[in-house]
Amino acid sequence: MKATIGVMLPHMEENKKRTELKISGMSCAICATTIEKSVLSMEGVSYAQVNLGTETATIEYDSTKLTLTDIEKAVTDAGYEVINERVNLKIGGMTCAMCVKMIENALVRLDGIVSANINLGTEKAYVTYNPGIITVAEMKKAIEDAGYEYLGIEGGDTEDLEEIARENDLRKKRKRFIVGFAVGIPLMILMHLSVDLPFKMAYFMLVVSTPAFVYVSHPIFIAAYRALKNRNLNMDVMYSMGIGVAFIPDIMGFIGYTHSKLADRT
């Protein structure tokens, strides 16, 4: 038996979204009508059509008034069950609770995500989603756009990928650590030595330290930019502020020193 019932309310153009839910527990046309009435009773729903044969509900709603979770709750309150899928994603690059919040926000903003819970200890995201609306590939993009690493699906053939990603991250950090010390320590020693150079020591230190500073610190500034872009304040933002506050006054002091020297000559 197949029954398709559709009801349309006054059309809402702005912020309208369309979703399709897989529903179980229906046995007759009355079930389909019950679900439609339950969904249409919600403010913001403009259209609801339930297909008994395919056990799906097609719904159009105003995303500023409702979320997918609200619609699913209306279906379950009517006595039926919405069938979603669950996936556990491996994530790299998290260091604190703010990282967890940042990734959760990035995921739940996506259409089709019912819930997203991040475990910092296991470095995994436990996501419930509607496969008819969103794919794992879109979740991967959201995670990477937030500034973190997508390491695959738990239970899949991703162990090598996870290990490679961690090794690459450690290798890059080791290189930056070595460059920072290799440049910083000699410059600190030169500050306390009287060395005759054919040019001013300040110029030499600026030319040598600036490329090293950019190389060592740029990942932190990039991470901070991504955090601010997603309206989050995490440790990367704090680190970048501390680094910037330390470096920028040095540049300003150098400019002031150069300007005073030029003024003395004139």
Can you give the pLDDT at residue 165?
65
Domain boundary among 114, 131, 156: 156
Total number of domains constituting the chain: 3
Q: What is the mean pLDDT of residues 213-234?
A: 80
Q: Which residues are 248's β-sheet partners?
A: none
Residues 18 and 99 in one domain: no
| 8-state DSSP, 15 | T
Residues 151 and 221 in one domain: no
Q: Which of these, 176, 174, 201, 170, lies nearest to 187 by C-alpha position? A: 201
Residues 119 and 63 in one domain: no
Residues 34 and 76 in one domain: yes
Can you give the pLDDT at residue 178?
93
Which of the four pLDDT bands, split at 50, 70 and 90, describes residue 13? low
Residues 170 and 250 in one domain: yes
Can you give the pLDDT at residue 263?
66
Q: Which of these, 59, 58, 53, 57, lies nearest to 29 by C-alpha position? A: 53
Q: Which of these, 15, 12, 32, 10, lies nearest to 23 by C-alpha position? A: 32
Per-residue pLDDT reduced to its tens digit, 148-188 = 888 888 765 545 555 676 777 788 889 999 999 999 898 88
Per-residue pLDDT reduced to its tens digit, 14-24 = 567 888 888 88
Which of the four pLDDT bands, split at 50, 70 and 90, describes residue 11? very low
pLDDT for residue 2 is more than 60: no
**Measured between alpha carbons, how far is residue 75 from residues 13, 69, 116 in Å?**
24, 10, 20
Collapsed DSSP state (helix, strand, coil) of residue 56 = strand
Give the torsion sign (CA, 174, 177, 181, 187): positive
Residues 152 and 168 in one domain: no
CA distance 206 to 111: 49
CA distance 96 to 225: 17
Domain boundary among 104, 131, 156: 156
Which of the four pLDDT bands, split at 50, 70 and 90, describes residue 139? very high
Per-residue pLDDT reduced to its tens digit, 245-256 = 888 877 887 777
Kindly give the interhelix angle for 201-229 and 235-265, rounded to the nearest 10 degrees: 150
Give the torsion sign (CA, 144, 146, 152, 153): negative
Structural domain span for residue 124: 85-156
Domain boundary among 24, 52, 82: 82
User: Structure pTM?
Assistant: 0.58
Residues 152 and 245 in one domain: no
pLDDT for residue 259 is more than 80: no
- Output the CA torsion 67→115→89→83 (10° steps): -90
Residues 166 and 254 in one domain: yes
Q: Which CATH number do you get for residue 115?
A: 3.30.70.100
Residues 199 and 222 in one domain: yes
pLDDT for residue 147 is more than 90: no
257 contacts: CB under 8 Å, gap ≥ 6: 202
Number of residues assigned to the chain: 266
Residues 165 and 261 in one domain: yes
Q: What is the mean pLDDT of residues 132-146?
A: 88
Per-residue pLDDT reduced to its tens digit, 42-95 = 888 888 888 888 888 888 888 788 888 888 888 888 888 888 888 899 988 888
Residues 214 and 134 in one domain: no
Residues 217 and 234 in one domain: yes
Which of the four pLDDT bands, split at 50, 70 and 90, describes residue 3? very low
CA distance 233 to 101: 10
